[in-house]
Amino acid sequence: MAHQERLNGIKMKLWDKGFSTDKKIDHFTVGNDRELDMLLAKYDVIASKAHAKMLGKIGLLSEKETSDLVTELNNIDKSIAEGTFIIEDSFEDMHSKIEFLLTEKLGDTGKKIHTARSRNDQVLVAMHLYLKDELTEIKNQTAALFNLLLDLAEEHKSVLLPGYTHLQIAMPSSFGLWFSAYAESLVDDLYFINAAYKVADQNPLGSAAGYGSSFPIDRNFTTKEMGFETMKYNVVAAQMGRGKVEKATAFGMSSIGATISKMAMDICLYMSQNFNFISFPDELTTGSSIMPHKKNPDVFELIRAKCNKIQSVPNQLILITNNLPSGYHRDLQLVKEVIVPAIQDLKACLELLTFSLKEIKVNKGILEDPKYDYLFSVDTLNELVQNGMPFRDAYKKMGIEINEGTFSPKRDIKHTHDGSLGNLCLSEIRKKMNKALA
């Protein structure tokens, strides 16, 4: 009861000066921060515990005050994990709710938690911690997809399918090449994710509002306590990192999004009756409201669309932040509502693609169709060259035979060089991924 009375009687804002704000302005400035902060709250608790311990270390809190704060923060962390932590409309965000709970339990001790920090560096450090965890999870999910793709490449390495340029049949490919091509592309994507992680792995706590503090805070202590590799030393640079760390993450996500969007597009084509290269169980496709024969690739179409949206995220963040001078600006609040949902979408796409590909069925007799005979023209030409005919003469000979309808394809092809359909180098690709994951 007392808790609710305090909620009703006070506008819970860290910057509240004692007068109310018009409700329209309040709604406009807060936006959907409360909803997004439910994902970030546990990271604010982690940072608050490190900050409390640091305040105790430098003598701004007594040993008992430090212990009490850490205990209550652990209780809040538990409520977050159990799903009982909520941010009512009376609170602007997670920071004000957590400080309220501490004050409600500990009185003046709870009020001391904000000593030597600003909401600016609170948001920053929570975002850095959140992005570190999410980037790690994205890496793990990418690795799971990678491992499946390599397994599928090994399983189907001898099954040929057409290779295309300009969407015209070009040369023989294989499911081994197709699956492992996307696997190796994911290695490149993780290079971007690793770069983003390195940007996120810098502690901005202690930059306060962006210009540091007159309190003798120990930033090395909080850096080690929260598991950061290093700190963002310059306090202005730390604040300028807001928006930048999200952009770095977005570029990494965009790279993965481009890879799996392209694969989703391939899948949609290859499932078409005009191609008939692959199929999936009925449970992974959808029907039509009027056409009973339809097996639509809705899952893969949505993966394609969501990943195309994800590829727009870096540009959205650039447009929000590109003309801001140094220092904090409220514009930066909007980066959260761009990056957080995009992260959840990418993880969902990785999960669904991995789940679905486990059920893929490949057509083992694709190239038996005579319409694919011309796929073998290059290999037939190359055999003539290997037998001594000049390349240009062999090329003309093939052209004449194809034009006159007398071309007879050489189907017993042999590709032996590294990375070709006869030598996929799967172990070498796996080594590259292991280095990217290390």
Residue 302 to residue 321: CA distance in whole angstroms: 29
The predicted-structure confidence for 108-161, as pLDDT tens digits, reads as follows 999 999 999 998 999 999 999 999 999 999 999 999 999 999 999 999 999 999
CA atoms within 13 A on the CB side of 109: 19
349-364 core/surface letters (b: 16 or more CB in 10 A; e: else): bbebbbebbeebebbe
pLDDT score, position 297 = 84
**Tokens 């202590």, residue located:** 221
CA-nearest of 152, 367, 157, 142 to 255 is 142
Query: pLDDT tens for residues 290-301?
Result: 555 557 788 999
What proportion of the chain, given as a percentage, has pLDDT over 90? Answer: 69
Which pTM was predicted?
0.88
Query: Would the pLDDT of 64 be above 70?
Result: yes
pLDDT at 82: 94
The pLDDT score that the predictor gives to residue 32 is 64
Tokens 């091509």 locate to 181
Instruction: Report the pLDDT value the prediction gives residue 303, as an integer from 0 to 100.
Output: 95
**The tokens of 273 are what?**
């009756």
> Residue 91's pLDDT band (boundaries 50, 70, 90)?
confident
Asked if the model's pLDDT at residue 19 lies above 70, the reply is: no
Q: Which of the residue ranges 239-243, 263-267, 282-286 has the most confident prediction, judged by mean pLDDT?
A: 263-267
Per-residue pLDDT, 7: 45
Q: Among 20-34, 335-349, 396-410, where is mean pLDDT lowest?
A: 20-34
For the domain 2-115, what is the CATH superfamily, name and number? Answer: Fumarase/aspartase (N-terminal domain) (1.10.275.10)
Task: Give residue 18's pLDDT.
Answer: 56
The answer to whether the Cα torsion of 312, 121, 71, 1 is positive or negative is negative
For residue 6, what pLDDT is reported? 47
SS3 label, residue 414:
coil
Q: What is the pLDDT of residue 348?
A: 94
Q: What is the pLDDT of residue 410?
A: 80
Q: What is the dihedral of CA 395, 397, 400, 402, to 10 degrees?
A: -70
- At 8 the pLDDT is 46
Answer whether residue 58 shows pLDDT above 90: yes
Q: What does the pLDDT read at residue 5?
A: 44
Average of per-residue pLDDT across 223-246: 96
Q: How far apart are alpha carbons 353 and 366 in whole angstroms?
A: 24
DSSP 55-113: HHHTTSS-HHHHHHHHHHHHHHHHHHHHT-----TTBSSHHHHHHHHHHHHHTHHHHGG
Q: Which residues contact 93 (CB under 8 A, 6 or more apart)?
A: 30, 33, 34, 37, 87, 119
- pLDDT for res 175: 97
Domains 2-115 and 120-367 share a fold: no
For strand 160-165 and strand 168-174, is the pairing parallel, antiparallel, or unpaired?
antiparallel
414 within 8 A of 380, measured Cβ to Cβ: no
Averaged pLDDT score across all residues of the chain: 89
pLDDT at 21 over 90: no
Helix, coil or strand: residue 147: helix
Among 28-42, 273-287, 411-425, top mean pLDDT goes to 411-425
CATH of domain 120-367: 1.20.200.10
The DSSP annotation for 311-372 comes to TTHHHHHHHHHTT--SS--GGGGHHHHHHHHHHHHHHHHHHHHHHHHTT-EE-TTGGGSGGG
Instruction: Look at residue 399 and tell me whether its pLDDT is greater than 70.
Output: yes
For residue 29, the model assigns a pLDDT of: 46
pLDDT at 113: 95
Residue-wise pLDDT tens digits, 157-197: 999 999 999 999 888 999 999 999 999 999 999 999 999 99
**In the chain, domain spans:** 2-115, 120-367
Average pLDDT over residues 50-64: 97
Which of 47-56, 357-366, 381-390 has the lowest average pLDDT? Answer: 381-390
Quote the pLDDT of residue 28: 47
